[in-house]
Structure 1
């Protein structure tokens, strides 16, 4: 494509739109994945939208890439929406850049995707390295024959009447039947005094007796749950209730293979392939501590060069592709427990939590100490990384600030990195936070902010037209301290002044929709300005629309392998609070939420994380205290305050929110 450019490039509407998207892809990869593009030709390219994570298989992408030259390597990180390609020569790489940038292809789901390419010096990705199966987990392949598989599938009549004693149910994510005992999803338990009259299907007895004799299982189950999964369906990450079932849980996979995700509370995730006709056995730590679940998707990432085998999906990104899911039916056998669980994992055991409740502070002094250890100290340590993940303002907060009259004095209590302090230039905004390091970040961004405790803000009473408190109140460890923090906000307001309060919600699935909290992937206006003013845009324009005219030299690149260290957690001293598993439902209102710290690496050293362009030291796991609010709890807490009216209350992406006014 020829383009006429002078001091300013003159592009048509289509070219401008394409350029914006191409540069946006480049900035997104840098910000979220730590992948830095260069403005000159190299042998290696990063291909945005051409990855396993958005339905593009290895075979499909290779067919496109090989039309431009000899491909030496195609690296496709698991579950990522991009890949890396290395050509034999720089000229071939430039040819691919010119020919494929903006090319529309159809992925394996039949959906159209547009490829955006950028040159890179070297590929950078988070390599999992060699991992072991979770302790206590085994997978036995070909546990039944094809004939046995068909026989087992035939005994499940999904069309039979729903009044049948086996309680056929149709759940949102799958079809399910229960035998022996009905499983109640509302409390994740069974009624041990009400066994189903028909028990387990007779055909199952012969298989269970055989597995017992061969040593694959240790106990004969008395409860069976049969799930049928269509492609695209899954099951949320969970741990089978300790008090409901004995240690051993076994699951037979029929009809299709699937990848199951196992996750440790400290954040370590292991993806395990469950082949068709295989038996999964969970005991000990894998049963009691690790969550297991199936991500809803129509394709799984698998090894490309050999038949699917059980075990871990490795991080050999030069040998991964997609496997299309079929209809899978799982037979999950469990033995109902009739005595309290006495496992070694008391922090996550519902039987033992009843006898030893979480260690909540019994006094204001203890609450202050807990907050100092699990809130204030943590934010000082993680301030830089935390700030790098807080770049997109919440739309409803922006609406609140932009609706205020020009010239209003507004206080942001717990302002963090100050992302709301510059939203409305017509306001006089000040921020405060307990973290000195976060306040320093605010000052570097030319915002007015100071260090203080939210229970005692050194600002004159009645001096603010409005206040905001976003994700702060839930860090106070007692009801009294939460009320006191709200009362301090009300004190700052003039009569008629308004305050907006956000707290984490216990209900992370609301109105049949899952929260997308902390999962935004939107380029902010500030970042758009950075793109607009990017000094390398001219070089990108020249390459994109006039590739081949450059003769710049470039060095030979290589693709680094990066080993990930074994993950471990900082010891939780003086606390019996449960540690929450990220991206799962809350099972307790008072929890410790892990934060896995990413740290910056030196220039020219490898990057092994995608979050904010830093490297992940797995030993640096910090835990933040949260009191997550139930539906109606924030309103009820605000109603204990004097001289306020609640103007509005709502749910916003995993948060309960109120707007109150001082009277």
Structure 2
């Protein structure tokens, strides 16, 4: 889940902007974006409020005009705000910055249920295991040796290249990929334990990406972090939930976990735990893939 990029205005000293960077204010300190918008609307029409970064304690308040932003800054910067619990706000002007592709790195709404994503073949079951079963499973894997990768640890069961247990330290995610078609059958299950995360899905249009590795011994087909032509969806995976990828969700949508320590879910701040352990279940495939998505399939290439 990306966040808009803001920076200081360029030009002469004192240049105005309709956007204000507001510190010591946000969901992490108990105030929703709607509440903040209501408070700042006393100085003019507020176009919107969004997170300034992943802390949850800094926001961007965007006005429809620069004069409203100026009045709000003069009234609230460095002064206790009675409508926000008497908090002293620290405010400066800010401007929206383009990404290297010339586009704003806007955030994607995070859903709580798979049905909201409208991705065929994607299912999420909450509380698939009990807290006691979760504790027993974590104890079982911690009793076995781990293999360290660059940013996370894994345990292998079955084929060596098939990562069936993954441990993600806080803040560590997963690059966008589709599990290789010819290596695995059509159902992929992922059980999340210990900590929550956000998983994003991307559907690239044909010709918008090229894989780095099409060998059948790779578990991933990598793509660029950002592309000009793709759909984005995101879902919150709570501890003890089971995710199923099948059909189109398994064969045509890239999935990845953003590298965040804090996620924004429905205007709430969710802090990732010290670790997340993923049990990923795949069935090895020995014959070529016959899926209906040749543009994403290594067997068709």
Q: Distance in 2 between matches of 1:332 and 1:142?
A: 16
Residue pairs, 1:90-239, within 5 angstroms: 94=70, 96-98=72-74, 115-117=91-93, 132-157=117-142, 160-161=144-145, 168-183=146-161, 225-239=164-178
Q: Which runs of 5+ in 1 are unaligned?
A: 1-20, 27-36, 40-44, 104-113, 162-167, 184-189, 191-223, 304-319, 354-663
Residue pairs, 1:99-498, within 5 angstroms: 115-117=91-93, 132-157=117-142, 160-161=144-145, 168-183=146-161, 225-266=164-205, 267-303=230-266, 320-326=267-273, 327-353=275-301
SS at match of 2:250: helix
* Structure in which a larger fraction of residues adopt helix: 1
Instruction: Say which structure, 1 or 2, has more relative contact order (CA 8 Å, 6+ apart).
Output: 2
1:48-102 C-alpha deviation (Å, 9 max, x unpaired): 376xxxx974243859xx99x934579444686852267xxx9996553125569
Q: CA deviation at 1:25?
A: 9.6
The 3 A distance-change label for structure 1 pair 95 and 273 is: same
Q: Distance in 2 between matches of 1:239 and 1:135?
A: 15
The 3 A distance-change label for structure 1 pair 346 and 92 is: closer
Cα pair 2:40 2:72 within 8 Å, conserved: no
The 3 A distance-change label for structure 1 pair 226 and 83 is: same
- Per the alignment, residue 70 of structure 1 pairs with 39
Name the larger-Rg structure.
Answer: 1
The CA RMSD over aligned residues, in Å, is 4.1
Q: CA deviation at 1:24?
A: 2.7
Q: Distance in 2 between matches of 1:136 and 1:38?
A: 49
Q: Distance in 1 between matches of 2:11 and 2:30?
A: 18
Count residues in correspondence. Answer: 234
Does residue 25 of structure 2 align to residue 47 of structure 1? no
Q: CA deviation at 1:289?
A: 1.1
Q: Distance in 2 between matches of 1:324 and 1:100?
A: 29
Q: CA deviation at 1:229?
A: 1.0
The 3 A distance-change label for structure 1 pair 243 and 49 is: farther
User: TM-score scaled by structure 2?
Assistant: 0.64
SS at match of 2:287: coil
User: TM-score scaled by structure 1?
Assistant: 0.31
The 3 A distance-change label for structure 1 pair 74 and 179 is: farther
SS at match of 1:285: helix
Residue pairs, 1:623-662, within 5 angstroms: none
Q: Distance in 2 between matches of 1:142 and 1:92?
A: 47
The 3 A distance-change label for structure 1 pair 148 and 273 is: same
1:155-214 C-alpha deviation (Å, 9 max, x unpaired): 0026x55xxxxxx3111121111112211xxxxxx6xxxxxxxxxxxxxxxxxxxxxxxx
Cα pair 1:57 1:321 within 8 Å, conserved: no
The 3 A distance-change label for structure 1 pair 228 and 97 is: same
Q: Distance in 1 between matches of 2:247 and 2:281?
A: 16
1:306-328 C-alpha deviation (Å, 9 max, x unpaired): xxxxxxxxxxxxxx132111121
